[in-house]
Structures are given as C-alpha cells and as structure tokens.
Amino acid sequence: MTQASETATQPWDPFGRPLFDDPDARALNRVGVVDVGSNSVRLVVFDGAARSPAYFYNEKIMCGLGAGLSETGRLNPQGRARALAALHRFQMLATGMDMPPLTVVATAAVRDAADGPDFCAEVERRTGLRIWVIPGEEEARLSAQGVLLGWPGSYGLVCDIGGSSMELAEIKGGRVGKRLTSALGPLKLRDVPGGRRGRKAHIKETVARLAEAMGPQRDRLFLVGGSWRAIARIDMLRRDYPLKVLHEYRMTARDVRETAKFIEAGDLEAIRSAAGVSSARAALVPYAVDVLTRLVRTFSPKDIAISSYGIREGLLYEQMPQRLRDRDPLIEACRFAEAKDARLPGFGRTLYHFVMPLFASKPASVQRLVKAACLLHDVSWRAHPDYRAEVCFDNATRANLGGMEHSERVFLGLALLHRYRNKRAGTSFEALYALLDEPGQKQAEILGKAMRFGAMLWMKGDGRMASLHWRPRMRKLVLNLPEAALPLYGEVAEARLKALVTALEAELEVKISA
C-alpha cells in the first residue's frame, strides 16, 4: 500500500499533443484511448475532445493478463497472447477510422509483472503502439478525474477496482487529494491462502490500513471498475430496478449487504445470465463483493454511486483547461446535440427564457434540467411522429448524458415526452416513472407542455416573441402576445396553451400588445 497527494504538473503527456488548444471547443477530432488492465483490454474512441464527450466506439476483450501473477510473478501466457491480439486489432481499427495514434495505458498487471517491460516492447514492435505503464497512485488520480468529468465539484471517495489492484482517491471541490493503491484486486485475492476465511481476514486487515491512511470518508463512495459494475447489475436484478443504466446508479449500505446475501445464497451462473454479466467477470464477483462489503462497513459512506467514467475519461479531463472543467457536462452535451441535430439551432435558449417564468421559484437543480430540456426539445424531430415522444423519452433516460441522477433522467425524459404528447399513460416506459415522485412528474409535464406551446412561436432572432407571466398564488397564467406575433397563435397553438393551463390548474389571460 502506497500513498500520494495531488501534484500540480505531471511528467508525462500520453497524447503527445494538446487536445484543447481552444478552451471553448466542444467537438474536435476523435481521440482513442486503450486501457490495458489486469483483467480486460478496452478501446474507447471519444467523438471529439469535449467537456462531455460522446463514445464513438467502445470494445472490451477479457484477456486475464494478471491471472496467476501472484504465484508466477509473470503475465499469464494466454492472457498475454490475447492482449497482443487485441492491441493489434485496436491499432488496425484506429487506422481504419483515420485517427491519430492511440494512447495506451497499462495498470497493475503490466507494472507488477517481471516480463511487463518485455510485453510492452513486443507490443511496440508488433503494432507500433507505445504503452504508458502508470503507477498505482497515478491510476487513482486519473480514475478520480474521470469521476470529476461526470460530477464536477464532487466530494467523496473514489474506489477503482481492477483485476490485480484497487485504488482509492479523495475528491474535494473538484480536486483530487490523498491517493492510495493496494493489491485488493479479485485476481490477486483468488491466490490468498486460507480459503474464504483467510481471504476475508486479509481484506479486513488491508482495508483497515487504507482507512487509517485516508482518514474519515463519510461522503459519497464512487465505484469505478468492471467488477463493481457487475455487482450493480446484480443489485438491479435483485431489486427489479427498471432503468438499466449503470452510470450514477445508487446503492445504500443495506443494498450492498442484501446483494451479497443474494449472490451467496443463489446460483451464480443463473444470476450471471439473468443480470447480463459475462462469465469471466462473474467469476470475480464473489471476491469483489467481499471487498465492497468491507469497504462500506469500514468507511460508512452516506451513499454509493456507480461511475462509468474512469481512467480513460480521466485522461481527457487531464488535458482540459480549468474553465472547461468548470462547465456543466449535461448542459454542454445538450448544447452540442442542439447544434448538431435541431431544426433551428439556438432556439432552445429562446424557449428556455420563454418557459422560465413557470420555474422562477424552483431550485437551481430544477432550472438546470429545464435548460437541458429546452436545448433538447427538437433534436428528435426526424423520428416518425407516431413514435417521437417515446424516442425522446428513451434518448433522455438512456443516452450518455453525465451529471444526472436516475430520477433526473426520468424528469428530462418525461418533459421531452410531453413536448410531443399530452398524456404519458400507455407507453412502454411506465415502470420507469416511479423513479420520480409525483410532484416531479407533474413539473415535468408542465415543462413539456410549455415547450410544446412555445415551439409554436418560432420567430426570427430579432422578432419580439410572446412571453409568459405566472402568478402562482392566484393560479393565473398570462400570455403577453405582441400583435406582430398574433398570426402564430392559431388553433393548434391555442389548444396547446389550454393544455398547459389545465396542467397548471390555472386560469388564462391573453394580452395582445401593439
């Protein structure tokens, strides 16, 4: 176990070129990152170096490089051959995509193995790819930065588990603090003598030393890594959870305990199949569960969140200027989507100002979702009208949008559904509505119907648009309509306004001005 604290500058530049020459850029050339882990080798191609990058390509191959490393001190021969083949494939894919050279980082197995340097040399000789072997403390820092990509300004403890190691990093106010690395990876735990009793004693002792070095960590526990995600999938199965999105999935300490019992008492193969976990990953789950149970018992976090962002996203975050890091990843992603797919890019901002009187008293967390919905209100216009509302809901709840809890995904999805449809009953997504409370569902409906009406009032940028005035105590909605915009207020627009008034349970007054 070793420890480090944040350093201002890093001695290595994995990309070999600046990714963010223009701090305002939201879409640059594609960037490919390969993570050579102890258990898997993964290629991710980001579609542009951006505050909230899109995933153009994502492929993982389970190689098991670190299997048996504790006993032999060397990389697993079969895993080494599979990893070399995977890297050769990834290099050829990158060439086919006409991309710059891939950035390749390797973690615990390669850095610990006696033949790690020989493996790196062979990879470069066969494929031309240079592998950056990073220390455990650096792995912890980059994983924590990946979490910050999705949760700017977060507080908590980031725990990244790989095949041969587990890293901890403290994050406070958008910065990485203390960092630790340990050998609590499932592949190494398989080799601990004494059966499960010996393994659990080893985990308890190691986590106690980690906790002593890290100090109290009562905020959120962010979980990064494939084994944690496999446990989350099984927890979703146990709870019959309706939204199968791992990023920002939340668990409690009780959930962890109940899922540990569920795994221990059940047929692991049947659980694996039902949860959609690969055989190679499922084989490591019992070891990872023991680690997670001990972590939660020792640190007592206020809650637990799954992060799909880790070391690969941390490498992008590393390159960002602070002014770009400080931006909201959700709003940035929505702005990019509007610019790329909306019929009238820029109208989302006008629509936001139009509907905001209805939400002026709401907290910033709600107003943020209002802005996101307005930016996305028209990006699915190409979908068939009969399915457009459901396409909007599906995109909002399942798309790669960072910085949202699952309940907020449902809020955004319902608002966009009501942008195209008056009623939300009768869709195939009704089971998901329960993730948002009734007041939240009502607010989403009001937002959707306000956007549905406001979208009827398209005008040129220099035109004087209608405005809303909301008097909540009187339950009265006033539409201020310039005479020049009166032709836009036709029968369909009037019907949509009345639907909004009904949702608000209000009276309507229309004022026409010269």
User: Tens digits of per-residue pLDDT, 340-369?
Assistant: 899 999 999 999 999 999 999 999 999 999
N residues, the chain = 514
Fold of 137-312: Nucleotidyltransferase; domain 5 (3.30.420)
Q: Which of 227, 226, 219 is nearest to 304 (CA)?
A: 219
Strand partners, 305: 222, 250
Q: What is the pLDDT of residue 238?
A: 98
Considering the entire predicted model, what is its pTM?
Answer: 0.90
> CB–CB of 129/105 below 8 Å?
no
Q: How far apart are CA 410 and CA 407, in angstroms?
A: 5
> CB–CB of 127/87 below 8 Å?
yes
Given CATH 3.40.109.10, say whether it is the number of domain 2-134: no
Strand partners, 132: 105
SS (H, E, C) 373-421: HHHHCCCCCCCCCCCHHHHHHHHHHHCCCCCCCHHHHHHHHHHHHHHHC
Helix, strand or coil for residue 92?
helix
Phi-psi category of residue 119: left, alpha or beta, with phi > 0 → left and psi -120 to 50 → alpha: alpha
Q: Name residue, tokens 């996305």.
A: 376
Homologous superfamily of the 329-513 domain (CATH) = Hypothetical protein af1432 (1.10.3210.10)
The alpha-helical segments, DSSP class H, found in 113-243 are: 116-127, 136-150, 186-189, 195-214, 226-239
Question: DSSP secondary structure string, 122-142?
Answer: HHHHHH-PPEEE--HHHHHHH
| pLDDT, block means (10 residues), the chain with 514 residues | 45 62 57 94 85 88 93 96 97 93 94 96 96 95 95 93 95 93 94 94 97 94 97 98 95 97 95 95 95 97 95 89 87 89 92 96 96 96 92 90 92 97 91 96 98 86 79 96 90 96 96 88
Q: Name residue, tokens 């898997």.
A: 40
Q: Which of 233, 310, 226, 396 is nearest to 44 (CA)?
A: 310
How many C-beta atoms surround the C-beta of residue 215 within 10 A? 9
Dihedral of alpha carbons 205, 62, 307, 325, sign: positive
> CB–CB of 251/235 below 8 Å?
yes
How many C-beta atoms surround the C-beta of residue 372 within 10 A? 28
Q: What is the pLDDT of residue 463?
A: 58
Residue spans per domain, the chain: 2-134, 137-312, 329-513
Q: How many CA atoms lie within 13 A of 38 on its CB side?
A: 34
Q: How far apart are CA 259 and CA 261, in angstroms?
A: 5
Q: How far apart are CA 229 and CA 192, in angstroms?
A: 23
Q: How far apart are CA 279 and CA 273, in angstroms?
A: 8
CA angle 34, 36, 37 (to 5 degrees): 135
DSSP β-ladder status, 156-161 and 166-172: antiparallel
Q: Which of 116, 115, 127, 112 is nearest to 43 (CA)?
A: 127
Do 137-312 and 329-513 fold alike per CATH? no
> CB–CB of 53/46 below 8 Å?
yes
Residue 359 DSSP one-character state: G
Q: What is the pLDDT of residue 288?
A: 97
